[in-house]
């Protein structure tokens, strides 16, 4: 026996269920004499609910009009793509892609610098300061054009120096990339030039280095002298290979104005000098070191750690930031600098927190997204600020590497590579601008799809079995 009943209002069901619900009951036996043998089944169709499985055409048109009236507010906070696009160029490309997808979007650009390439330019531009251009010794001991700057918004004369302008990976010729021999000597020359120019305070950015000499070359340029276990002086600017037998430091000849100038260093706080996660082991391969060379560099960093620790009166070998920029964090402590998490320095001037408050989504970017990203890289730091304010974050990257999924826990909601097919590094660099614009357009369209879906309430799930049973019984038996 089949009993079918129709009800127009069902107070015990979700309000999203509309008027017509068909409840069917079947019996175990066709000639059942008692209602106790009834086995209820509930059948609900989308038509019964009064909710279409897809939005009506008129609703979609209405949604389109709503989106056209007020587009999303998007904050673009990218880093640069090494050896390809600077932070400002990356921001411009993402903006172009966003506006291609949503012409009425409100876009705010805040190109980010992590202490590496573009650090000086960004801070000088933000404060209406001025850059000074000089030549210094580059990482392979040849003269290179470089620069330092002064902020325009401070009472005291505050200089800005970035180590990448004198020892960055991008200015190391590809066929000479060997951190055993590259030097930070030119960084010391930049610091000296700023001191001679009257700096009373200095912001020094560490990042994008092509060296692993513990900052010893930088300290030599400022007057420090170093010796091996035999008492012989370590030659100037010879890189990490010359430090395996480092034994002592003489700081008596340091530039006298170092005592008068407060130098604050923006560095990756997660990088340490020695140990399994020491700078040689983690970053040596990226700078061209072979496994054998990595072991030599690690031994050199152990010696640097011992000498610097003795000079400053505390163990810095595993201290936060000591391994920044090929161990230059250690050498900077040797000359009296104060290390800080780089994002703390940067956000003082760029005020990202306030920008995040007024946006719907944040798009960040960097050359690579991988397991190292949560360790102080810009996408993760931007995500940390955005998550605190409940704003979703999307990251674009040239490449997505090993362990990238850990970035979900770091606050990045989604990430994607800009590459559309397997290509060589040279092609990827040459096509970076187009690829980035296309990728930004694609992810923006995905965001808009998500926004569209959110405007329509999905049909509520069927009630749990027990609730359904109780509902049927109440309608059938009156209790």
Q: Please identify which residue in the block is written with the tokens 């990339």.
A: 177
For strands 361-369 and 73-78, give the pairing.
parallel
User: Residue range 232-240: average pLDDT?
Assistant: 96
C-alpha to C-alpha distance for 454 and 448, rounded to whole angstroms: 10
Maximum mean pLDDT: which of 376-380, 397-401, 472-476: 397-401
In this structure, are residues 172 and 286 in contact, taking their beta carbons and an 8 Å threshold? no
- pLDDT surpasses 50 at 37: no
Convert 283-351 into a string of H (helix), E (strand) and C (coil): HCHHHCCCHHHHHHHHHHHHHHHHHHHHHHCCCCCCCCCCCHHHHHHHHHHHCCCEEEEHHHHHHHHHC
User: How confident is the model over 258-272, as pLDDT tens digits?
Assistant: 999 999 999 999 899
Tell me the CA distances in angstroms from 355 to 77, 352, 382, 386, 415, one per residue in order. 10, 5, 11, 10, 21
Structure confidence at residue 134 (pLDDT): 98
- pLDDT surpasses 80 at 337: yes
pLDDT bracket for residue 476 (50, 70, 90): very low
Convert 217-273 into a string of H (helix), E (strand) and C (coil): HHHHHCCCEEEECCCCECCCCCCHHHHCCEEEEECCCCCHHHHCCEEEEEECCCCEC
pLDDT bracket for residue 428 (50, 70, 90): very high
- pLDDT surpasses 70 at 11: no
Residue 226 φ/ψ, nearest 5 degrees: -130, 150
**Helix 342-350 crosses helix 378-387 at what angle (to 10 degrees)?**
60
User: Residue range 5-23: average pLDDT?
Assistant: 32
Tell me the CA distances in angstroms from 46 to 58, 458, 464, one per residue in order. 19, 11, 18
**271, 272, 275, 280: CA torsion to nearest 10:** 60
Structure confidence at residue 456 (pLDDT): 53
- pLDDT surpasses 90 at 13: no
**Whole-model pTM?**
0.70
User: How confident is the model over 290-319, as pLDDT tens digits?
Assistant: 999 999 999 999 999 999 999 999 999 999
Q: Cα Rg for the chain, rounded, in angstroms?
A: 31
- pLDDT surpasses 60 at 63: no
Structure confidence at residue 346 (pLDDT): 80
Convert 49-69 into a string of H (helix), E (strand) and C (coil): HCCCCCCCHHHHHHHHHHHHH
Residue in 4, 192, 207 with CA at minimum distance from that of residue 115:
207
User: Residue range 87-94: average pLDDT?
Assistant: 93
- pLDDT surpasses 50 at 65: no
Name residues whose C-beta falls within 8 Å of residue 238's C-beta, 6 or more positions apart in sequence.
181, 183, 217
User: How confident is the model over 339-360, as pLDDT tens digits?
Assistant: 999 888 887 777 788 889 889 9
Structure confidence at residue 261 (pLDDT): 97
144-158, 182-196, 220-234, 406-420 — which is least confidently predicted? 144-158
């Amino acid at each position: 026996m089949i009993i079918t009943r129709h009800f127009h209002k069902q107070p015990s069901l979700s309000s999203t269920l509309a008027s017509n619900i068909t409840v069917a009951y079947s019996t175990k036996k066709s000639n059942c004499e008692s209602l106790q043998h009834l086995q209820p089944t509930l059948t609900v169709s989308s038509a019964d609910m009064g909710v279409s499985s897809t939005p009506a055409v008129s609703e979609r048109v209405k949604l389109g009009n709503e989106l056209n009236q007020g587009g999303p507010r998007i904050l673009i906070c990218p880093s640069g793509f090494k050896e390809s696009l600077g932070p400002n160029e990356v921001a411009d490309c993402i903006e172009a892609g966003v506006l291609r997808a949503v012409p009425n979007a409100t876009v705010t650009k805040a190109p980010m610098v992590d202490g590496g390439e573009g650090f000086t330019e960004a801070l000088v531009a933000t404060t209406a300061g001025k850059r000074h251009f000089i030549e210094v010794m580059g990482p392979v001991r040849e003269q290179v054009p470089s620069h330092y700057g002064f902020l325009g918004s401070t009472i005291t004369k505050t200089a800005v120096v970035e180590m990448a302008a004198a020892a960055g990976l991008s200015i190391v010729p590809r066929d000479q990339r060997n951190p055993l021999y590259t030097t930070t000597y030119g960084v010391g020359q930049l610091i000296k030039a700023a001191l001679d120019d009257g700096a009373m305070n200095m912001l020094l950015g560490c990042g994008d280095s092509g060296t692993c000499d513990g900052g010893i070359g930088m300290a030599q340029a400022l007057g420090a002298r170093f010796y091996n276990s035999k008492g012989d002086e370590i030659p100037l600017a010879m890189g990490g290979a010359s430090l395996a037998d480092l034994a002592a430091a003489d700081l008596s000849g340091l530039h006298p104005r170092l005592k008068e100038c407060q130098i604050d260093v923006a560095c990756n706080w997660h990088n340490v000098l020695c140990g399994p996660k020491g700078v040689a082991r983690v970053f040596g391969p990226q700078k061209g070191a072979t496994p054998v060379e990595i072991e030599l560099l690690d031994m050199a960093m152990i010696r640097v750690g011992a000498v610097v620790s003795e000079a400053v009166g505390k163990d810095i070998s595993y201290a936060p930031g000591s391994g920044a920029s090929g161990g230059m964090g250690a050498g900077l402590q040797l000359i009296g600098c104060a290390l800080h998490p780089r994002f703390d320095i940067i956000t003082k001037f760029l005020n990202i927190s306030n920008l995040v408050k007024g946006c719907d989504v944040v798009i960040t970017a960097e050359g690579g997204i991988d397991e190292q990203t949560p360790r102080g890289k810009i996408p993760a730091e931007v995500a940390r600020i955005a998550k605190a304010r409940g704003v979703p974050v999307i990251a674009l990257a040239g490449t997505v590497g090993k362990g990238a999924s850990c970035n979900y826990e770091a606050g990045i909601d989604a990430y994607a590579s800009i590459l559309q097919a397997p290509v060589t590094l040279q092609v990827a660099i040459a096509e970076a601008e187009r690829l980035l614009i296309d990728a930004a357009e694609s992810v923006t369209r995905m965001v808009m799809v998500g926004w569209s879906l959110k405007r329509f309430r999905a049909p509520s799930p069927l009630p749990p079995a027990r609730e359904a049973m109780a509902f049927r019984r109440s309608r059938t038996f009156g209790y």
